[in-house]
Amino acid sequence: MRTGVGIAVTEIGVGPREVMIVSQSDQEYKDRFKLFKEMGIDPNEFVVPACDDKGHSGKAFCRLQPGHDRLIDVIVSTGIFPYKTKSDFIRHALMRHLRWCQGLVEMGKEIPSMMKQVDIILELVRGQIFQQEFGDVMMRLGEAISAALAAGAQGEAIRLLAFAKKQIEDMPEGYWRDRYLREVKDRWGHILR
């Protein structure tokens, strides 16, 4: 394990290369979203789904310089940005570059119109992803709490709920944070009292 600027880094082998995995403390997680907020950046904008609302997607391939490829791996693995994979990073970079090109070149009304259509679909699919993740988290949390209560371990159920509530409170302010908190309160508020 290497340590750098307060971040613990563990290297694990992935195929022929190694990828760095970085674990962040709760404070680093909060600081990341505080920094995003101060910069006027919505962390949700980093989420660019791989397909549209009908499940359709295109496929592209390009070669990268080894240094660029490794830098993408490092950026994704830092955990500073909400990228889960290299593809997440590339889709976000592509979206930002398409907007940049659109702003530089006036090529008629087709490009702005197409970008607006892409933006609408992107927002719809992003909402579906967040809704699915919300359902998955609440289902798993419910299963864990039910199992603890069924085993007579109310203290463990309370601990799980308190941990989950703390993690949710550390999420960026907004609709999804509020929805998670409301769901925890509505379903398990009586346990936390």
pTM confidence score: 0.54
Beta bridge partners of 11: 20
Per-domain boundaries in the chain: 2-104, 123-192
Q: What is residue 178's predicted lDDT score, i.e. its pLDDT?
A: 94
Q: What is the pLDDT of residues 82-104, one digit of tens each?
A: 888 999 999 999 988 888 777 76
Closest CA to 142 of 191, 193, 176: 191
Q: What is residue 72's predicted lDDT score, i.e. its pLDDT?
A: 93
Dihedral sign computed on CA atoms, order 182, 186, 190, 191: negative
Structure confidence at residue 115 as a pLDDT band (50, 70, 90): confident
Q: What is the pLDDT of residues 15-74, one digit of tens each?
A: 333 333 344 455 665 666 677 777 887 777 888 888 877 888 888 888 988 888 999 999
How far, in Å, CA of 4 to CA of 14, rounded?
21
How far, in Å, CA of 85 to CA of 73, rounded?
8
